[in-house]
Amino acid sequence: MIAADEGDIDVAAEILRSIGVSVDAMQVDLSTKEGAADFARFIADKGRPVDILLANAGRGLGKGFLDQNLDEALHVIDTNVTGTVALIHSIGNEMRARGAGKILITGSIAGFIPGTYQAVYNGTKEFLNSFSFALRHELKDSGVTVTCLMPGATETRFFERADMLDTEVGQSEKDNPIDVAKVGFDALMKNEGDVVAGWKNKLQTVMANVTPAGMLAEQHAKMAAPGTAKK
């Protein structure tokens, strides 16, 4: 079962069906508690327990915080945090009651870095990273596992939607989403607590843990500030 707030979710469902996968798709706004509840009911109505939850809904937004539209900034928080937490709370309780289930939460290496010109987005990913680690510990004796996938920049429409195509990171070479998804799924099935996708991202995470926050913020600005894309 898959869900997104765009009509393309139905296209994705048809692609999966074409290779023999049974898919139920729902177009729903997962940035709200109501949307998450609607999707949970959609799942429950199918009468099948959820064995694996991939909590991957997310949004980004570029530019300086005070230059952003406030409603758009709050939508990032609602999608990445509020809706994700609401969905995990609903499905997680059902998993715990059965004593079985796997949850994969898409955090990010951005959660280790003060995100100058992506302040809201990086803040939400810092929350998701921390939330994942804590939830895993809370559920350690329940039969439910939690894994945090922490990718770096990935070749999707993320930077287009975040209005960041004029930035260095927006124009940079990015990781293949198929490779990133495989890394996350393999870690989930092996019951690993967390995984960083890609050796460059692993190195960046290590460096972030020993670099002063002010220096990290300055470095992030150089790749995320509007107009930094190489001509």
* Strand-by-strand arrangement of the 52-55 sheet: 52-55, 101-106, 144-150, 194-196
117 is a catalytic site residue: no
Angle, alpha carbons 171-209-65 (nearest 5°): 50
Query: Which residue, chain included where needed, has tokens 């939850």?
Result: 53
* Number of C-beta neighbours around residue 225 at 10 A: 20
Give dist(CA 218, CA 225) in Å, integer.
Answer: 10
Catalytic pick among 39, 112, 117, 121: 121
**Can you tell me which residue has the tokens 């309780």?**
93
Q: Which residues make Cβ contacts (< 8 Å) with residue 176, sequence separation at least 6?
A: 154, 155
Greatest Cα pair distance, the chain, in angstroms, is: 55
Active site residues: 121
